[in-house]
A and B are shown apart, each in its own frame.
Chain A
Amino acid sequence: MDASWIDISEIYRRYCEIKSGHVCIIGEEGYRQDSDVQKAKLSREALTQLSKFVESRVRTGATIFEELSMLMSRVDLMADISEFSRFYDFVFFMCRENGQKNISVSKALTAWKLVLTGRFPLLHQWCDFVEKNQRYNISEDTWLQVLAFSRYTRDNLEGYDREGAWPVLIDDFVEYMSRISGSCYDNSDCHCNCGDPESQSCVFEDP
């Protein structure tokens, strides 16, 4: 695998392979399924390899977001929830720079707007809030939990549990929302302007 230009679809295909357990490490085909620990280790190594490869590939000049959006048009993300989750993870993977474990706020915002439009009714408010309040980079855990949050909460914040283990940023967001308008969430009309209502109603089932 040389570092020439490779389509993002190919990277995504490999990413999916690693994630689903079909690990393939360059120069060391196959893996022994003797323990979960071993498996996790191999998959982590494979991811590191892939990330190094992504860094070194020749770029066409298209931004990462243009590539992702192209990929979105090709992959059937509507197929099932796990397919989209994997793609969502992949977006984080691609947004990292120089092997960092987190991504910058501005990248995260662009990425959320790209992939969650139509899937997260509070997307607009969420991005607004993060832009104004978050100073540090977005960690992987926060990134992943935002997807879960978007599924739990749907049109209002009822699915949110105060005692739950949500990341601090999400806790703060809920607090901020209830501060700016107390009763607004009972009225689902309020927040439907940020997505395509059809996809909301047919794609997701409550987890």
Chain B
Amino acid sequence: MNPNNITISLREGTPIVLEGIARVIRIVEEGLENNRFKLFEYNKLYSTITIMATQRQPNNLGGHLFKIYGDTFNDYIDSKVLPSLRDEHGNVKLTELGKKWLEYESITEMLSSLFNYLDTGFIYLNKLPRVKDVALGFFRDLVYKDVQSDSKIALLTLIDKVRKGEDINMTCYKDIIRMFVGMGMGDMSRYREDFEIPMLNATAEYYKSRAAKWLEDYSFVDYIHKVEGGLRLETDLVLQFMHASTKEKIAEMVLHLLLKDHPEQLLKVGILDLVQGEKVEDLCTLYTLYQRIPEGLEHMACIFKQHIMDQGAAFAAQDEEAIENQVLAVREAFLAFFEKRFSGKSCASLLAEFLDNTLKSGENDDAIYGTLEKALNLLPYVSDGDFFVEYCRRKLARRLLFSEESTNDDHEKYIIEKIRHEFGNAVVCRMVQMVADSTLNRDLRMKFQTRLMEDADHYLGFELRASILNSGSWPAFESSDFQPPQEMVRAMQIYKNFYNEQALIHRDRKLTWLHSLGRCTISAIFGSKKYDLDMSTYQYRLLIKEPSTKKIDENDRFKCNSEFRHGASKIKIPSPPITERREILQVVEADRKFAIRSTIMTIMKKKEVVSFNDLFVECGRHLSKFGIKVDRKSMKRQVEDLMERKYIERDKLNKEELRYLPSDETDK
């Protein structure tokens, strides 16, 4: 701060400081880019103020600086802020106030950083408020107190006008909101109490009266659209000028007021009308709205379930064939409605998830078998069998890898049997192999342990549990260029040697280490307590992150947090969540392509000449045996692909007919 022990006297320093302050005010008011401080000018001003504030007693001039600093803001308010507001009214006053606040805020920012050494010296000793708060305090006492109520009322009037349809650009009142926020001096209290709460109250009043009126004036569908419109209007308003934190509050309030108390009977009739009229778009709107209020979807689901049960009961009265057709029709409609358009989840993924949760529930055997059986009875109704199998396979992989102790082979085999029964042998062979791998691994691990005990050279200093996965059967896992620490490298080498010594069948296999799946438990002592930390191999070294946000950037640094304390002594550190939906989609789509092509070729080879439509029907029938449902378009794509590869050709005269080209004819 003052390495050379220079002292600056009051007479020397004051003119420099005053000149500097005047300069700051000019910069802010005129906003001129070229009027900025040159670096050396700023440095000089900064060091002058710093030296004056920190030089030793009796030369310390902190008190004087503090006075100059305070007077500056006092004067500024008296001479600039108040006069400009005195003669203005209404919205003009509002924008003027916003402008003045913005200037005041900038001056505060610049001067408080110039005078920041007062905080550690003079202010600290005299227990005064910090420089920034001093400046904000003046504004609060001299300006804000008198204007906040009027400003709030003016803003609420404007909002009301917007709601009534006037086209007002609210973005120019953003600065007033900044003032409310800024006046909280670091927290949101003033914004909340002086603006947000009154605003929310007014909004509530408005929508309460709307709800009653709309209910009277509009049909169910129009009402829903009104709600959607209202919600959009309010969130738009927030985005235009309010603080972002208000958005969720206002959305929640609007939806609650407009939907929660919607008469049960009207809702029921309304929803069923939409369902029967196949108004998918409107139902989507309804879904997105109800999704946002607590238990909204459950409520909708309940109504819908009742509807399906009623339909079912009605069918039951008819003869058998009619029942089957009707039920199938309802199911088709259900799938079309709910899988494709709404939640983005399919029956396939939901059922796989349900099975996974059941297996992990830890209930007794009878209960688990009971639930599994019921759930698996639904298999014939799963429309995308290949998706379902892929989801199941991934869930199985995670269970076998990460919760091996609690995995019950019999349960897994039971599920696999059921799937085999429904979709055929080919579909499940990879899952069977996975379970077999997992059983083999247990033996292999025992052998490895014995082996380690026999040979003193192989002392590892820690326990190594490796799993061997046959790469074709398990999902493709990410492998990376992770550099394991020295002791792990050694352990890996020892394991590799051990593995190669095992039975002959292993001899030609290549081992690839998948560190992305690795987990490790390390013992750590924090304070006086010993903890077992279970974490992924990647996390092995990174224990604390700087800066401590949830997102990870390239420049972030990590270090060990020695202050860590926790009640439990065994802690599992979770890996970042993975989203595999997209990946599954790609894998299954690619598999499906081959399945379609090979089916087409099988049929073409057998029939040689076949019409497009017959091919589609035949192909669809064949694929549905594997639970694959294919639309016309994706089949056409594959036909076109095969045509381009000259495996088949379109008949020259009848474009609806396809012809098989024997392979010796194709120009390879």
Contacts and interface: CB of A to CB of B under 8 A. Distances in A.
Interface of A: 37, 40-41, 44, 48, 101-102, 139-142, 144-145, 148, 163-165, 167-168, 171
B33 to A, nearest CB: 44
Given A40-B665, A140-B644, A165-B612, A145 B655 contact: yes
A102 B644 contact: yes
B655 to A, nearest CB: 6
B656 A164 contact: yes
Nearest to B643: A141
B167 to A, nearest CB: 30
Nearest to B611: A165
B640 A141 contact: yes
A140 B650 CA distance: 11
Contacts of A164: 612, 655-656
B640 A168 contact: yes
Contact of B644 (A41, A48, A139, A163): A139
Nearest to A163: B613
A142 B650 CA distance: 11
B549 to A, nearest CB: 38
Most buried by A among B646, B655, B656: B655
Nearest to A40: B665
Given A37-B665, A165-B656, A139 B636 contact: no
Contact of B667 (A44, A141, A145): A44
Interface string B608-640: 000111000000000000000000010011001
A164 B632 CA distance: 11
A21 to B, nearest CB: 13
A165 B665 CA distance: 24
Most buried by A among B633, B644, B658: B644
Interface of B: 611-613, 633, 636-637, 640, 643-644, 646, 650, 655-656, 658, 665, 667
Q: In terms of DSSP, what is the predominant structure of the interface of chain B?
A: helix
A140 B642 CA distance: 12
Most buried by B among A41, A101, A165, A171: A165
17 contacts: A37-B665, A139-B643, A140-B644, A141-B650, A144-B650, A145-B650, A164-B612, A164-B655, A164-B656, A165-B613, A165-B655, A165-B656, A165-B658, A167-B640, A168-B633, A168-B636, A171-B636
A102 B643 CA distance: 11
Nearest to A164: B656
A48 B665 CA distance: 14
Contacts of B636: 165, 167-168, 171
Contacts of B633: 168, 171
A26 to B, nearest CB: 18
A-B pairs, 4 with minimum CB distance: A165-B612, A139-B644, A141-B643, A165-B656
A43 B637 CA distance: 28
Given A145-B655, A168-B633, A139 B640 contact: yes
Nearest to B612: A165
A142 B641 CA distance: 11
A144 B646 CA distance: 15
A37 B667 CA distance: 13
Given A37-B665, A44-B665, A167-B636, 12 more contacts: A41-B665, A44-B667, A140-B644, A141-B650, A142-B640, A144-B650, A145-B650, A148-B655, A164-B656, A165-B636, A165-B656, A167-B640
Contacts of B665: 37, 40-41, 44
Nearest to B667: A44
A170 to B, nearest CB: 10
Contacts of A48: 667
A181 B644 CA distance: 33
Contacts of B646: 101
A39 B644 CA distance: 21
Nearest to B637: A168
Contacts of A142: 640
B287 to A, nearest CB: 24
A102 B646 CA distance: 12
Contacts of B611: 165
Nearest to B615: A165
Contacts of A148: 655
A39 to B, nearest CB: 11
A187 B607 CA distance: 44
Contacts of B612: 164-165
Contacts of B656: 164-165
Nearest to A142: B640
A168 B641 CA distance: 11
A141 B646 CA distance: 11
B608 to A, nearest CB: 13
B643 to A, nearest CB: 5
Contacts of A40: 665
Contacts of A102: 644
Contacts of A168: 633, 636-637, 640
B653 to A, nearest CB: 11
A168 B612 CA distance: 13
Contacts of A139: 640, 643-644
B296 to A, nearest CB: 32
A93 to B, nearest CB: 14
B8 to A, nearest CB: 71
A161 to B, nearest CB: 9
A148 B667 CA distance: 26
Nearest to B641: A139
B616 to A, nearest CB: 9
A167 B637 CA distance: 8
A142 B665 CA distance: 22
A45 to B, nearest CB: 8
B461 to A, nearest CB: 56
Nearest to B634: A168
A180 B222 CA distance: 26
Contacts of B667: 44, 48
Contacts of B613: 163, 165
Nearest to B654: A165
A118 B213 CA distance: 60
Contacts of B658: 165
A141 B644 contact: yes
B648 to A, nearest CB: 10
B618 to A, nearest CB: 14
A175 to B, nearest CB: 10
B655 A101 contact: no
Contacts of A171: 633, 636
A145 B643 CA distance: 13
A101 B655 CA distance: 20
B638 to A, nearest CB: 10
A163 B656 CA distance: 10
A205 B47 CA distance: 94
Nearest to B636: A168
Contacts of A44: 665, 667
Nearest to B645: A101
Contacts of B650: 141, 144-145, 165
B592 to A, nearest CB: 16
A144 B656 CA distance: 13
A37 B663 CA distance: 12
Nearest to A45: B667
Contacts of A167: 636, 640
